[in-house]
């Protein structure tokens, strides 16, 4: 068997494989639900109502999607330019740390200054964190997959140190936890009384902005050119190195915003379990979205719905919520295969 590239894929060619990938995902999940002793239709129904069935459930899903939109965008921006940023997890924590440093009473600013300041600082922190690996890549040819991935572990240990030492909450009963943000540094809720915070709106805006950057701005054009064919871009006079560095700043900044939004909008303080791997799940989200910024919003909602829905389903049906992780993993694998099939046809020898 071998793969033959398809020069001009038909519309069906572009739609059918991804649709089949989603169908296959649900088929796998259904089989697992059966094995676990549940009725697949009931399980999917419970996941659906668990994610969207009530106002509470819906808002929970939107809240869970928020950090994934940010990290998904961070990954999509970087991957488009073929900058393989696997370090969104660390960049997220860098943003969270800066938010905590500025927002726990060190500055006496009103909310309308405090929040933009924290957000900007979080972006800067995330951006600078990715600038290092990007410089190593452009200057010395060091593989950014290795540096960004491994730096996640180093940075998490550093956070652990901060939470045990300089940033430890003196009122925290000995828990490794930062002090709480002042109310001026908290993102308010969109509607009083409902749990959804303004971080979600910020994430939607960010997605829209990234889309505008991609399609309308000079930088977007340059980033796409460098990602598609760096050799041709360089030949045409596009400053490839500078574009990669700018991409790194944008990508890291978006991941940093995820940290700001989680601390300021949801948790109110920094702990080591702020992110259950949003930086990595962001990769799945970006891939499912085919790196399209608006697709990221949809993919993040899908992923969040499965997680939130599976949690409530497992309480009701007794099927373990791990099924969510499996669905996500199989969705990614099937989607990668589907993307291949939109571009190549399989031929038997």
Partner 1 sequence: MSTETEAQVVLRLQGITKRFGPVTANEEVSFDLHRGEVIALLGENGAGKTTLMNILFGQYTADAGEVELFGQPLPPGAPRAALDAGVGMVHQHFTLADNLTVWENIVLGVDHLSTLSLKPRQVKSRIRTLSEQFHLKVDPEAKVGRLTVGERQRVEILKALYRDAKILILDEPTAVLTPQEAKDLFATLEEAIATGLSVIFISHKLHEVMAISHRVLVLRHGKLVAERATHATNREELAALMVGAEVSAPSIESRAPGAPLLSLHQVSTPDQGAAPGLKALDLTLAAGQITGLAGVSGNGQAALSDLLSGLISPTKGELLLAGAPVASWSPRSAIAQGIARIPEDRHKTGTIADFDLTENAILETYASRFSRRGWMDWARARAFTKDLIQTYDVRCPGPDIRIRLLSGGNMQKLILGRVLEEEPQIILANQPVRGLDIGAVNYVHEQLAKARDRGAAVLLISEDLDEIMQLSDVIHVISEGRLSPGFARGSMRPEELGGWMAGNGFDAEAPDAA
Residue 236 binds to partner 1 (criterion: CB under 8 A): yes
What number of chain residues touch partner 1 (CB under 8 A)? Answer: 22
Member of 166, 191, 231, 273 binding partner 1 (CB under 8 A):
231
Least distance to partner 1, CB of residue 229, Å:
4
Least distance to partner 1, CB of residue 345, Å:
14
Residue 105 binds to partner 1 (criterion: CB under 8 A): no
Query: 103 in helix, strand or coil?
Result: helix
Least distance to partner 1, CB of residue 91, Å:
24
Residue 239 binds to partner 1 (criterion: CB under 8 A): yes
Residue 205 binds to partner 1 (criterion: CB under 8 A): no
CB-based contacts of 40: which residues, under 8 Å, 6+ apart? 29, 30, 31, 33, 34
Residue 346 binds to partner 1 (criterion: CB under 8 A): no
Least distance to partner 1, CB of residue 348, Å:
9
Residue 1 binds to partner 1 (criterion: CB under 8 A): no
Alpha carbon 123 to its chain's center: 14
Residue 349 binds to partner 1 (criterion: CB under 8 A): yes
Neighbours of 216 (CB within 10 A): 10
Q: Tell me which residue has tokens 């064919």.
A: 229
Binding piece for partner 1, criterion CB under 8 A, among 53-61, 107-115, 198-206, 211-219: 211-219
Least distance to partner 1, CB of residue 349, Å:
6
CB-based contacts of 172: which residues, under 8 Å, 6+ apart? 179
**DSSP output for 111-136:** HHHHHHHHHHHHHHHHHHHHHHHHHH
* C-alpha pair distances (Å), 37 with each of 81, 191, 302, 306, 321: 45, 41, 25, 19, 13
User: Which stretches of the chain bind partner 1, using CB under 8 A?
Assistant: 7-8, 216-221, 224-225, 228-229, 231-239, 349
């Amino acid at each position: 068997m071998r793969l033959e590239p398809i020069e001009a894929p038909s519309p069906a060619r572009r739609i059918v494989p991804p649709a089949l990938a989603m169908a296959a995902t649900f088929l796998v999940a259904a089989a697992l639900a059966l094995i676990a002793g549940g009725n697949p239709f009931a399980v999917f129904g419970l996941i659906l109502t668990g994610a969207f069935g009530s106002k509470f459930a819906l808002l929970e899903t939107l809240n869970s999607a928020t950090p994934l939109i940010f990290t998904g965008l961070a990954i999509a921006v970087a991957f488009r330019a073929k900058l393989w940023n696997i370090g969104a997890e660390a960049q997220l924590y860098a943003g969270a740390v800066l938010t905590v440093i500025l927002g726990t009473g060190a500055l006496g600013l009103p909310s309308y200054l405090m929040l933009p300041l924290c957000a900007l600082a979080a972006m800067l922190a995330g951006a600078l964190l990715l600038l290092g690996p990007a410089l190593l890549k452009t200057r010395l040819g060091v593989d950014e997959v290795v540096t960004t991935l491994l730096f996640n572990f180093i940075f998490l240990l550093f956070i652990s140190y901060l939470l045990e030492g300089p940033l430890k909450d003196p009122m925290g009963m000995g828990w490794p936890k930062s002090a709480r943000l002042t109310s001026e540094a908290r993102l308010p809720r969109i509607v009083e009384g409902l749990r959804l915070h303004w971080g979600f709106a910020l994430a939607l805006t960010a997605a829209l902005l990234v889309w505008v950057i991609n399609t309308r701005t000079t930088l977007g054009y340059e980033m796409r050119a460098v990602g598609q064919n760096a050799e041709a871009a360089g030949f045409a006079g596009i400053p490839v190195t500078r574009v990669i560095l700018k991409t790194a700043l944008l990508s890291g900044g978006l991941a940093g915003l995820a940290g700001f939004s989680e601390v300021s909008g949801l948790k109110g303080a920094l702990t080591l379990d702020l992110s259950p791997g949003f930086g990595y799940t962001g990769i799945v989200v970006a891939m499912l979205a085919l790196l399209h910024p608006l697709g990221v919003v949809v993919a993040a909602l899908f992923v969040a719905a499965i997680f939130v829905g599976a949690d409530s389903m497992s309480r009701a049906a007794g099927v373990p919520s791990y099924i969510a992780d499996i669905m996500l993993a199989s969705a990614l694998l099937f989607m990668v295969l589907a993307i291949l099939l939109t571009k190549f046809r399989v031929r038997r020898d």
